[in-house]
Amino acid sequence: MPDLRFTEQALSEWMRSGGSHSEIVISTRVRIARNIQHHPFPLLATKNQADEILDVLAPVVDQNQETGYGTFHLLKLDELEELDKKVLVEKHLISPNLVNDSRSGAVLLNEDESVSIMINEEDHLRIQCLFPGFQVQEAWERATAIDDIFEETVDYAFDDRRGYLTSCPTNVGTGLRASVMMHLPALVMTQQISRILSAVNQVGLTARGIYGEGSEAAGNVFQISNQITLGQTEAEIIDNLHGVAVQIIEHESNARQRLLDDSALRITDRIMRSYGILSYAAVMELKEASQRLSDIRLGVDLGILKAPSISVLNELNVKTQPGFLQKMFGEKLSSAECDMYRAKLLRDTLGTTH
């Protein structure tokens, strides 16, 4: 029987604490991709071959082994309901690829959900470490420590010239993807975001939506990550991301101050209108909810609003997703019903019930 605690709570425990520059950087993630020597990569593996990989990797940090990062729990995708898989994606604990394209896919999660180890995704092993706020170095240190635990047990697919071998050529080399999830409403409002993102692309980084490649940057949230994994060391990748993120934080902070200096009444009106609409609306589509929650988050960060807390806003960003709404209300919902229940959830949370 799979442990479903991970799909019953919207907010991961690691998100309840703060982090550096948390008014702009929502979270930091480091992900390492690895494959096992002399085994077909997941996209070419048979079901039996994928099962073998799962049998080899799952016991390395299973529920009975202490790693210094808490107890781990194994969730096999073929034992989960579709709705539970969707919630895990919405919480960023697994990728859409693990749900849609994998054979014998599984994930190892620690108690506070700050470590997610996917097995048989695009690669045999994807180690993901999540931290609140701006903590790139800390996330990297934890991810590489867990990587070392696996490397003591299995032989990785490695080439002396190319580095770690992966299913996708864009991950060959270090196999490292480091990213920061950034809330950049002021850069969007002041129409500077295109220029900033263009500059990001010129220094080997890329901007994606909240669910990675191909997803939309909903609610003014952008995921900034490295594009290059080959030809740079891990330290260079981490340092580059850190340096660029610091500059983006500075630009966003300056843009927020300009909004206050030049358009205080207008920005206050926008924030209050969003708060009012979320407090009273009978129907709320996800896209609008994301945008208006972004306004409220900005209002809290600027001191215009005293409540709700950032923790509550983080929780609402998950609870308003379609999968979690259906999980919470215990029934399969149509798109229209999701919009109705989303509005009810927002009304109730923000203190107005009708």
User: Annotated binding site for ATP: which residue ranges?
Assistant: 27-31, 92, 126, 177-181, 208-213
β-partners of residue 158 are: 164
- Sheet with 25-34, side-by-side order of all strands: 72-76, 106-110, 115-119, 125-132, 25-34, 176-183, 221-226, 205-208
User: Which residues fall in the annotated binding site?
Assistant: 27-31, 92, 126, 177-181, 208-213
Residues 6+ apart with CB under 8 A from 297: 183, 185, 310, 313
Burial class (CB in 10 A: 0-12, 13-18, 19+), 105: buried
Q: What is the distance between the alpha carbons of residues 53 and 34, in angstroms, rounded to a whole number? A: 12
Contact 42, 162 (CB under 8 A): no
The CA-based angle 144-145-150, given to 5 degrees, is 90
- Dihedrals φ, ψ of 267, to 5°? -70, -35
Cα–Cα distances (Å) from 235 to 137, 176, 177, in that order, read 9, 10, 12
Q: What is the distance between the alpha carbons of residues 101 and 88, in angstroms, rounded to a whole number? A: 15
Amino acid identity for residue 158 in this structure: F
Cα–Cα distances (Å) from 343 to 81, 83, 269, 338, in that order, read 26, 20, 21, 8
